Amino acid sequence: MNVSDQSLANQLCFALYRASRLYIKLYQQALQPFALTYPQYLVLRMLWEADHQPLHTLGTQLDFGSNTLTPLLRRMEQRGWIQRRPVATDRRQLIIHLTDQGRQAQIPVSQAIQQLTSQQQLSPTEGQLALVENQAIIADLQHLLAHQSFIKEK
Amino acid sequence: MNVSDQSLANQLCFALYRASRLYIKLYQQALQPFALTYPQYLVLRMLWEADHQPLHTLGTQLDFGSNTLTPLLRRMEQRGWIQRRPVATDRRQLIIHLTDQGRQAQIPVSQAIQQLTSQQQLSPTEGQLALVENQAIIADLQHLLAHQSFIKEK
DNA sequence: GTAAACTAAATTGCGCACAATTAAACAGTG
DNA sequence: CACTGTTTAATTGTGCGCAATTTAGTTTAC
């Protein structure tokens, strides 16, 4: 963006911030009966897709560091969704895998989400467009932030 | 959205979540020299626009409750950006107004933000489009959430 | 083979977000 | 005036996010 677009960036950042919080609030309504939070649901979805992932891999996909994931996964283990297992070959790593409870939650949790998201009035076409636009923003910001931290090291 | 769009909603929610976090991370880089956080910057911008606002009004505009604003404003007062004054006519209310430091920060803070956001490669046209799309999502979600809480009360 | 560089998880500390509750003050009604 | 309902801020408790650091383990270079 060029120099005259302060206001656009401000509006866009704020819109993303509000939209994200509202969307998560909607998801939390569906997740509340399961005592799951949105970030925990994200972890479950990753594991439903591919079980037995190292903590590090989950972090890469969700853009979470160990400082976020370690306590989050501890809570999820306490509540019986997952288990955390050390790796024999590399004792730094931790493999996360689903419990039976975690696996069996997939269908009812997905249904609860669907029950709410299906009530959205937004057309799928507009949703698709928003998705593409926001992914472009993500790519742009990732590039910019990577470049910034490169500058900082100098 | 219709029932077949679980995956779209999931992707959209996650994209908003990631984009929001990345954008805020960019803003925090600009705000760090001033020891300001992004939500604190939002409050400052509201007050630069219109000083002497009640806590409640700030909360409405930013979609924050008193449970978020009360400690946030306390920290901002401690750091000299604002002052919190009781109202004579209604002792429940609290008027927030800028200090000299808070007023004088407008130009340097805005410049620091501009310095970073101007480096975005995203075209203003695309930014505009994303803004419009996301505002539609916000409106949709607000409507849906308001309706949901109406159901809950029954 | 071992010192240095690297990698991964955990820890620490702070500041949000937000649900739920409490407490205080105000406004309207009979 | 007392009563009821509403509005507003504050409080409490939980769970992220994330910068910065620490600890432990592994790989690489010499």
> Rounded distance, CA B138 to CA B12, Å?
12
R_g (Cα) of chain B, nearest Å:
19
From the list B118, B133, B147, the residue facing A2 with the nearest CB is B118
What tens digit of pLDDT does each residue of A34-81 get?
999 999 999 999 999 999 999 999 999 999 999 999 999 999 999 999
Edge to edge, what strands does the sheet with B82-86 contain? B53-54, B94-98, B82-86
In Å, how far are A30, B92, B149 from A116, measured between CA atoms?
7, 37, 12
- Minimal C-alpha gap between A79 and chain B (Å): 23
Residue A8 in contact with partner chain B when CB distance is under 8 A:
yes
CATH class of the domain whose range is B3-120: mainly alpha
Residue A149 has pLDDT above 70, yes or no: no
Answer whether A123 sits within 8 Å of B1, measured CB to CB.
yes
Closest C-alpha among A98, A134, A143, A103 to residue A12: A134
- Helix axis angle for B106-117 and B6-31, nearest 10°, is 130
Listed by start position, the domains of chain B span 3-120, 122-154
Grade residue B3 by pLDDT with cuts at 50, 70 and 90. very low
* Residue A2: band (very low, low, confident or very high) from pLDDT cuts 50, 70, 90: low
CB-based contacts of A17, cutoff 8 Å, min separation 6: B20, B23, B24, B38
Give the separation between CA A33 and CA A56, rounded to whole angstroms. Answer: 29
Q: What is the pLDDT of residues B46-98, one digit of tens each?
A: 999 999 999 999 999 999 999 999 999 999 999 999 999 999 888 889 999 99
Asked if B133 and A126 come within 8 Å (Cβ–Cβ), the reply is: yes
pLDDT band at B124 (very low <50, low <70, confident <90, very high): very high
Residue-level pLDDT at A153: 43
In this structure, is the CB of residue B75 within 7 Å of any atom belonging to strand C? Answer: yes
| Chain mean position to CA B109 | 16
pTM: 0.93
Q: Which positions in strand D are less than 7 Å from the protein's CB atoms?
A: 7-13, 15-20, 24-27
Protein CA at A43 to nucleotide C1' at C4, angstroms: 36
Closest residue of chain A to B149, computed from CA coordinates: A29
Q: How far apart are CA A139 and CA A109, in angstroms?
A: 30
B84 CB-to-strand D distance under 7 Å: yes
Strand D and chain A: which residues 51-110 have CB closer than 7 Å? 63-68, 71-72, 75, 89-92
Q: Which alpha helices (DSSP H) does chain B contain, by range? A: 6-31, 38-49, 55-62, 66-78, 100-104, 106-117, 124-153
Instruction: Inform me whether the C-beta atom of residue A117 falls under 8 Å from chain B C-beta atoms.
Output: yes
Please name the residue that has the structure tokens 């933000």. B113
